[in-house]
């Protein structure tokens, strides 16, 4: 391509940018995206409303409960100052994770739509014991929105995930099919 002679189109010429030489062209780095850690006090003063979507595969405490990590959780955070000046937020999550049924061990979709209110505190000593809201501890005045959404989703899931009633559950054994490990022992006792 020396002198523009190797181009298929004879009217094209080498383009020169404003580098002024052969050195690299420096640009300002791109922003890394929205910050996950937020200043609760500032957002409460602004009465901010934030909405985030998090892939379920990025929520580590949820992984053992999932049959499939596809999907996401939609979280809405509405920050406010409480009547006594404390910082709080209303948190709402929506998701449809594929949970593992504890009876048949197959995956099933469980629709979650939950909302709760939390009150933020810097330490357990700062937390009000008589607060009607759940206390969530901040770290240097900030919290991770991802962890807050994960916590709310975990609280909304059932303690024992089951896909339906026992007679119709996937591979769950029926009452007749259940194994009785000591049935043979009962026959031996009758013989003696």
The pLDDT tens digits of the residues spanning 81-99 come to 987 888 999 999 999 999 9
What is the Cα–Cα distance from 117 to 100, expressed in whole angstroms?
A: 28
In this structure, the strands spanning 49-55 and 72-81 are: antiparallel
Instruction: Residue 132: name the closest of 75, 93, 92, 90 by CA.
Output: 90
Q: What is the pLDDT of residue 145?
A: 93
Q: What is the pLDDT of residue 171?
A: 57
Q: What is the pLDDT of residue 9?
A: 64
What is the Cα–Cα distance from 120 to 143, expressed in whole angstroms?
A: 9
Under 8 Å between Cβ of 71 and 111 = no
Say whether pLDDT at 25 is over 90: no
Tokens matching residue 46: 């602004």
DSSP element (H, E) containing 190: helix 183-191
């Amino acid at each position: 391509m020396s002198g523009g002679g190797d181009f298929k189109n004879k009217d094209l010429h080498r383009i020169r940018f404003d580098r002024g030489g052969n050195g690299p062209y420096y640009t300002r780095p791109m922003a890394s995206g929205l910050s996950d850690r937020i200043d609760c006090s500032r957002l409460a003063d602004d009465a901010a409303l934030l909405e985030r979507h998090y892939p379920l595969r990025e929520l580590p405490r949820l992984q053992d409960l999932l049959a499939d990590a596809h999907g996401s959780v939609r979280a809405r955070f509405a920050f406010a100052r409480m009547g006594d000046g404390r910082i709080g937020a209303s948190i709402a999550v929506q998701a449809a994770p594929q949970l593992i049924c504890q009876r048949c061990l197959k995956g099933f979709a469980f629709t979650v739509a939950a909302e709760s209110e939390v009150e933020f505190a810097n330490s357990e000593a700062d937390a009000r014991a008589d607060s009607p809201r759940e206390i969530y501890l901040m770290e240097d005045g900030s919290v991770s929105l991802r962890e807050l959404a994960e916590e709310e989703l975990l609280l909304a899931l059932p303690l024992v995930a089951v896909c339906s009633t026992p007679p119709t559950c996937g591979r769950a054994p029926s009452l007749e099919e259940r194994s009785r490990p000591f049935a043979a022992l009962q026959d031996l006792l009758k013989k003696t």
